[in-house]
Amino acid sequence: MKVNVNWNGNRNVNQDCFQYPLISIGIIGGGQLGRMMVQKAKKMGFYVTILDPTPDSPAAQVADEQILGDFYDANKLRELVKKSEVTTYDIEHTNTEVLKELVNEVPGNTIYPSPYLLEIIQDKFKQKDTLSRSGIPVPKYEKVEESDGDGQLLYPDNLRFPCVQKARKGGYDGRGVIVLKDKNDLENCANAITITADSDSFIEEFIDFEKELAVIVARNPGGEVRTYPVVEMVFDERANICDMVIAPARIEEEIAEQAKEIAVKSIEILDGVGVFGVEMFLTADGRVLVNEIAPRPHNSGHYTIEACVTCQFEQHIRAISGLPLGSTELLSPAVMINLLGCEGYAGRPLIEGVYKAHSIPGLSFHLYGKARTRPFRKMGHVTILDLDENLEETIEKAKAVKKFLKVKAEEDNI
């Protein structure tokens, strides 16, 4: 049974009366993003149910309830949506066909972002094509077709190297992305690029970028929009995973405003509701190009928990429940680093350097509650506020923390 039958996503001041719990929220996915959403939702008085196949998942540890089930399981998705007044995601890899059926039922079920939007986001080629056709600047792209019968990939005759080949579906954290430096790289590419049996791919021009940027955009059902400061992302080249986020980005104000304008327009084109991470390239000649969009809170916005008036996780809950959006003002510049599982270790996590890390002024430590670590798995993050108003020194401090704060394993070293 839904907790609050009077809830309305477009609630106005004349309807400003809620039962307790205020709203029942369902989250598809029980990872770290879901966990941080739940923590904020519970603070705000909401009831939260998680759908995840892993017992005692990170989000379920702090939620009211967990439904054990796969993200594509039609029956489990129906169970979650039917018992929730609004449903959202911490992962975009789910069954959009079932979710579309659910939102079209009478009375309708509220799912934000829309599964129709999610369907576009899931297919990176369709995502890029939708944005490009609406005037959003993106890298040049082209489909890669398969020849009939033998499964061989047919590359464009005018293929220019270097370039990037991407799986259309299923990729995340660097999976499904390969840089092709020359013709020799084509030979082994087909097996490496395949994520699922129906995962086609496409070619994208290689951008020799100056910086990788990101903008968190929030939008509620009434069309109210807020943006967070433009941030700078630094990636671990070994696994192509975001390693560090610098807020604000070290760019000119004109570039920052351009990035925000493009990010907002992108989400408005998609008619997005919720919080979105818009990843971008800044080229050497000052162009801002959209790389990808995440339809949920994003790694690049973790710093907002300590550094902004309203963090991205509370903002997402506000947006999907139709509440006014909170202030995105930056209270302090900050640097966030991901705590990735160390190479050579798998098993129950063993965290080294915890006491030393907590002795650093302005440092906040977040552990995600994952029962097992493995190489490059996101196990937590650390945010360091720039208390001394010297961002370069704070960056160096973060680099120093990465050298001693390690996630290893008690057993099963590999």
268 and 394 share a domain?
yes
- CATH code of residue 401: 3.30.470.20
Largest CA distance in the chain: 66
Question: What pLDDT is stored for residue 151 in this prediction?
Answer: 58
* Assigned domain for 361 exists: yes
pLDDT (average), residues 150-163: 73
pLDDT of residue 4: 42
pTM of the model: 0.91
Kindly state whether residues 177 and 224 are assigned to the same domain. no
Q: What is the structure's pLDDT at 189?
A: 59
Q: What is the mean pLDDT of residues 119-123?
A: 95
CATH of the domain at 174: 3.30.1490.20
Phi, psi of 339 (to 5 degrees): -95, 105
> What is the overall mean pLDDT for the chain?
90
Do 199 and 223 belong together in one domain? no
Who wins on pLDDT, 412 or 409?
A: 409
Residue 128, domain member (yes or no): no
Q: Hey, what amino acid is at 321?
A: S
Please tell me whether residues 369 and 263 are part of one structural domain.
yes
Same domain, 248 and 373: yes
CATH number of the domain encompassing residue 47: 3.40.50.20
- For residues 194 and 351, the model is more confident at 351
Dump pLDDT digits (tens) for 31-74.
999 999 999 999 999 999 999 999 999 999 999 999 999 999 99
User: Is 6 part of any domain?
Assistant: no
Integer angstrom CA distances of residue 381 from 240, 274, 358, 384, 398: 17, 23, 13, 10, 11
Q: Does residue 130 lie within any of the structural domains?
A: no
**pLDDT in the model for residue 239:** 75
pLDDT score, position 152: 63
pLDDT per residue as tens digits for the range 285-307 = 999 999 999 999 999 999 999 99
Which residues are 24's β-sheet partners? Answer: 47
Full residue range of the structural domain in which residue 87 is found = 13-111
- Examine the domain organization and report whether 190 and 328 are in the same domain: no
Q: How confident is the model at residue 196 (pLDDT cuts 50, 70, 90)?
A: very low
Q: In this structure, is residue 90 part of a structural domain?
A: yes
Residue 176 is predicted with a pLDDT of 74
* CA–CA distance, 185 with 237 (Å, rounded to integer): 18
* pLDDT greater than 90 at residue 382: yes
Q: Last residue of a domain, which of 182, 205, 228? A: 205
Q: Which residues contact 28 (CB under 8 A, 6 or more apart)?
A: 51, 71, 77, 80, 87, 88, 89, 90, 91, 94
Q: Are residues 270 and 184 in the same domain?
A: no
Sheet holding 47-52, edge to edge: 65-68, 47-52, 24-28, 86-89
Residue 406 in this model has a pLDDT that exceeds 90: yes
Could you tell me if 196 and 289 lie in one domain? no
Among 157, 190, 205, the domain-final residue is: 205
Q: Do 325 and 220 belong together in one domain?
A: yes
Is 150 found in the same domain as 187? yes
Residue with tokens 């196990």: 379
Question: How many structural domains does the chain have?
Answer: 3
363-376 per-position pLDDT tens digit: 999 999 999 999 99
Mean pLDDT to the nearest integer, 368-394: 96
Q: Comparing C-alpha atoms, which of 2, 243, 258, 254 is closest to residue 110?
A: 2
User: Which of the pair, 200 or 409, is modelled with greater confidence?
Assistant: 409
pLDDT at residue 361, as a whole number? 95
pLDDT (0 to 100) of residue 60? 96
- Tell whether 188 and 218 lie within a shared domain: no
Per-residue tokens: 143: 């489909």
Residues 327 and 345 in one domain: yes
Choosing from 205, 239, 258, the residue where a domain stops is: 205
